[in-house]
Amino acid sequence: MAMLLQMYKLFIWVTLLGINVSDARGKQYISAVGDPGMRRDELRLAFEAWNFCNEVGEEAPGMGSPRAADCFDVSSFSLRHRVNETDNKLGVGNPFPGLGPEAENNADLFAAQKQLYLGSLCQVADTPNPWQFWMIMLKNGNFDTKSGLCPENGKKVPPFSSGRFPCFGKGCMNQPILYHELTHFLGGDTMRGSFNGTYDLGSDIRSELDGISFFEVVWEKKVGDGSWVFSHKLKTSKKYPWLMLYLRADATKGFSGGYHYDTRGMLKSLPESPNFKVRVTLDVKQGGGPKSQFYLIDIGSCWKNNGNPCDGDVLTDVTRYSEMIINPDTQAWCSPNSVGNCPPYHITPNNKKIYRNDTVHFPYGAYHYYCAPGNAQHLEQPVSTCDPYSNPQAQELVQLLPHPIWDEYGYPTKQGDGWVGDARTWVLDVGGLSSRLYFYQDPGTPPARRIWTSIDMGTEIFVSDKEEIAEWTLTDFDVLYTSPDL
Ligand SMILES: *[C@@H]1O[C@H](CO)[C@@H](O)[C@H](O)[C@H]1NC(C)=O
Ligand SMILES: *[C@@H]1O[C@H](CO)[C@@H](O)[C@H](O)[C@H]1NC(C)=O
Ligand SMILES: *[C@@H]1O[C@H](CO)[C@@H](O)[C@H](O)[C@H]1NC(C)=O
């Protein structure tokens, strides 16, 4: 009887979602991504580069707008590419189908529309929604406060002087040089392609990497076998000490984490807390030094302080992020003596609230850093507010560290888990954990639906004082719906 009821619930649930249940290995699950486990031969991949506030600012000479894609179909051991290098090199002043006149000469708007255009070339029809690509995201953390390029909590502010941010001088927020090796057959049945490049304009990465920044993602797969393996490399330099490189599953429409414009991506339906898990295989080969905040998983979304979904109004939209940092060199900034770096409370798996002033029970070591949105009106003191410039709008961050209290969710429980020499396939109950994290809301407002528009993995090398290199491979990425009733 109970079995029958469960089958019935599954049936209703599947019908509601309008998706088919996968039945591999006899286990029933529904994937939220277009390419479950990265197993599809016909790859869909895009690249984007961001400046400090997730915009373009100015294109790098000869590179076009920093958006590119590698998408192809496979037939009898030949690849038919859907995006050519003319498309990939499109930049301000070059029209393309669908480009609005206001975007033609504005590098920020142009990039947003180029992403939609590349999405239209890569799009795969599917239920319940079409999807476009995995996204490689690269970000330069330099901020020239005299450039006037970044708003403060979404509000436009005039240029100002500050020594708080890395910048070697005018032009420090530049976009990178990008080289693209189109996916091709290596000989035999292995396909491979790559994106690489540097922020150091005028340097030649083909000779010597000493003294210059470098990024690279190489993808490889055998036809009809296994999953795409993405090998990442990120190197900082004196001029570019703060760099980020992630592989993202973003929403196929609407605002992905950190965006204030329509995006394209891989999440053909959007996971909502608590009912989803993330499966991924990660092998960190080189950590990237003590400042490398490697995110085993980073989830991003957007909702307003009153709980409403975001609508593109940067003054009231708030980007919400939570990430688990697995570099064992990362210390907890949250402590009994610095409760301003902790969320106001922790919620246990059996829904008990533990306030941060409860020094006996609060798991201080489980939180690296909490910071509240800069536009929140009713914050509990003491509190840190997040950097107001590094997103197009206000943001909130809940940064976690490996700790025994996360065991219930399949997350790392001790320093070193998942780090260099501990390659693993993780099945993380991201939905369950994120349903119990503290996020700020105005008092008396109905709780926001925690619908995640971005799920990413990669590292943020946060202002390194010497040249650092991080290197890792990622594969098998999947986002699985779970149901508490099953
Ligand atoms: C590149 O692709 C676009 C759109 O598919 C097409 O219009 C254009 O002619 C192609 N260019 C070349 C050089 O093949
Ligand atoms: C970057 O990629 C290009 C191919 O696009 C390749 O020729 C070059 O060797 C790569 N550079 C490095 C430093 O790996
Ligand atoms: C701890 O903090 C909570 C919430 O702010 C408050 O209600 C409570 O009185 C505090 N307890 C102590 C012992 O200070």
| Ligand 3: centre distance to CA 358 (Å) | 8
Least confident window among 75-79, 211-215, 336-340: 75-79
20 domain residue, yes or no: no
Ligand 3 pocket: which of 347, 357, 359 to mutate (most atoms within 8 A of CB)? 357
pLDDT for 16 equals 45
Q: pLDDT exceeding 70 applies to what percent of the chain? A: 94
Could you please report the per-residue DSSP string of 177-208? EEEEEEEEE-STTEEEEEEEEESSTT--TTT-
pLDDT for 464 equals 87
Q: Please name the residues in contact with 11: beta carbons below 8 A apart, sequence gap of 6 or more.
A: none
| Ligand 3: centre distance to CA 366 (Å) | 20
Which segments of 415-468 are extended strands (E)? Answer: 424-428, 454-461
Q: pLDDT exceeding 90 applies to what percent of the chain? A: 89
Whole-model pTM: value is: 0.94
- The closest-lying atom of ligand 3 relative to the alpha carbon of residue 345 is 4
- Rounded CA-CA distance 320/304 in Å is 9
Residue 34 has pLDDT above 70, yes or no: yes
Residue 28 has pLDDT above 70, yes or no: no
7 domain residue, yes or no: no
What are 427-438's pLDDT values in tens digits?
999 999 999 999
181 domain residue, yes or no: yes
299 domain residue, yes or no: yes
Protein residue whose Cα sits closest to atom 3 of ligand 1: 87
pLDDT for 6 equals 53
What are 239-289's pLDDT values in tens digits?
999 999 999 999 999 998 899 999 999 999 999 999 999 999 999 999 999
Q: Is 181 in the pocket of ligand 2 (CB under 6 A)?
A: yes
| Per-residue confidence band for 392, with pLDDT thresholds at 50, 70 and 90 | very high
Q: Is 87 in the pocket of ligand 1 (CB under 6 A)?
A: yes
Protein residue whose Cα sits closest to atom 1 of ligand 1: 84
Total of domains in the chain? 1
16 domain residue, yes or no: no
- Rounded CA-CA distance 362/345 in Å is 8
pLDDT for 267 equals 98
Q: Which amino acid is at 113?
A: Q
What are 122-171's pLDDT values in tens digits?
999 999 999 999 999 999 999 999 999 999 999 999 999 999 999 999 99
- CB 452, CB 271: distance < 8 Å: yes
What are 195-208's pLDDT values in tens digits?
999 999 988 887 78
pLDDT for 207 equals 75
Which segments of 204-360 are extended strands (E)? Answer: 214-222, 225-235, 243-250, 276-287, 292-302, 318-325, 345-347, 353-355
Rg, Å, the chain Cα set? 22
For residue 486 the two structure tokens come to 């099953």
Residue 483 has pLDDT above 80, yes or no: no
217 domain residue, yes or no: yes
Q: Please name the residues in contact with 155: beta carbons below 8 A apart, sequence gap of 6 or more.
A: 314, 315
- Rounded CA-CA distance 215/64 in Å is 18
- Rounded CA-CA distance 20/411 in Å is 28
Nearest to 66 by CA among 176, 195, 181, 173: 176
Question: How many angstroms separate the most distant Cα atoms in the chain?
Answer: 71
| Per-residue confidence band for 1, with pLDDT thresholds at 50, 70 and 90 | very low
- The closest-lying atom of ligand 1 relative to the alpha carbon of residue 84 is 1
Nearest to 257 by CA among 411, 395, 120, 384: 395
Residue 451 exposed, middle or buried by CB count within 10 Å (0-12, 13-18, 19+): middle
Region 331-350: mean pLDDT is: 97
285 domain residue, yes or no: yes
Q: How is residue 410 annotated by DSSP?
A: T
399 domain residue, yes or no: yes
Q: Is 84 in the pocket of ligand 1 (CB under 6 A)?
A: yes
For residue 404 the two structure tokens come to 């025994």
Average pLDDT, the chain: 94
Q: Is 479 in the pocket of ligand 2 (CB under 6 A)?
A: no
Residue 18 has pLDDT above 80, yes or no: no
For residue 106 the two structure tokens come to 């504005």
Dihedrals phi, psi of 288, to nearest 5 degrees: 95, 15
| Per-residue confidence band for 484, with pLDDT thresholds at 50, 70 and 90 | low
Which ligand lies nearest the alpha carbon of 343?
Answer: 3
What are 84-98's pLDDT values in tens digits?
999 999 999 999 999
Dihedrals phi, psi of 24, to nearest 5 degrees: -60, 145
Least confident window among 1-10, 154-163, 167-176, 220-229: 1-10
Region 442-446: mean pLDDT is: 98
pLDDT for 24 equals 43
Domain containing residue 115 = 32-481
Q: Please name the residues in contact with 337: beta carbons below 8 A apart, sequence gap of 6 or more.
A: none
- The closest-lying atom of ligand 3 relative to the alpha carbon of residue 358 is 1
Query: Half-sphere exposure of 18 toward its Cβ, with a 13 Å CA cutoff?
Result: 7
Residue 25 has pLDDT above 60, yes or no: no
| Ligand 1: centre distance to CA 94 (Å) | 13
